[in-house]
């Protein structure tokens, strides 16, 4: 008595499943990098807080632009606003406000993402676009850092969103395997 068992169909299907899983990992990494990148740009842009935008507009007014050009005159409504500005921006006691003062959008454009190899992406700040990116992100001795990318990565990790993305991509790629 002899038995002949043909596993060629099983091997073919296992190879297709393996390719689908590899593609799901690549898609998951790409989607995660995309979401982190978008969140970092959102942090660089700052929350849409009308009070902060009004305060930013008041402190960014220039006095006598034709003659001095670079001189910025700060206008405060009252002493409390001045004390807040001094405490946060100069003494570093409070949390710096979001957003980073953005006039041109160069800081936002400096946020990049790229594929390093299969399944590996990175989100980074391009210092060729904005030379000051690391100073704003990491801070200096006179200013606290505003880590847009670090904060986006931390929030993404804590949200557990990577599992949701991975499951969705795996489901999507395994649907075609038969």
Tokens (6 digits) for 26 = 């690549």
Mean pLDDT, residues 89-112 = 64
Among residues 168, 152, 165, the alpha carbon closest in space to that of 32 is found at 165
Q: pTM for the whole thing? A: 0.64
Q: What pLDDT sits at residue 58?
A: 47
Tokens of 23: 């593609």
Q: Between 15 and 99, whose confidence is greater?
A: 15
pLDDT digits (tens, 9 = 90+) for 33-44: 999 998 888 877
* 83 and 89 Cβ atoms separated by less than 8 Å: no
How would you class 84 by CB atoms within 10 Å of its CB: exposed for 0-12, middle for 13-18, buried for 19 or more?
A: middle
């Amino acid at each position: 008595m002899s038995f002949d068992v043909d596993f060629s169909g099983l091997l073919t299907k296992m190879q297709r499943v393996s390719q689908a899983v590899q593609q799901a990992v690549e898609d998951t990494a790409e989607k995660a990098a995309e979401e982190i990148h978008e969140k970092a740009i959102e942090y660089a842009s700052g929350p849409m807080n009308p009070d902060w935008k009004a305060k930013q507009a008041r402190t960014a007014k220039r006095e006598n632009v034709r003659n001095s050009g670079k001189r910025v005159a700060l206008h405060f409504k009252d002493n409390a606003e001045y004390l807040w500005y001094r405490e946060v921006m100069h003494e570093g006691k409070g949390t710096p406000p979001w957003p980073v003062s953005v006039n041109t959008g160069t800081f936002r454009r400096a946020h990049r993402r790229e594929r390093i190899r299969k399944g590996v992406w990175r989100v980074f700040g391009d210092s060729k676009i904005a030379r000051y990116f690391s100073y704003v992100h990491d801070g200096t001795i006179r200013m606290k850092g505003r880590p847009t990318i670090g904060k986006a990565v931390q929030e993404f990790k804590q949200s557990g969103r990577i599992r949701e993305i991975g499951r969705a991509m795996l489901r999507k790629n395994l649907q075609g395997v038969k």
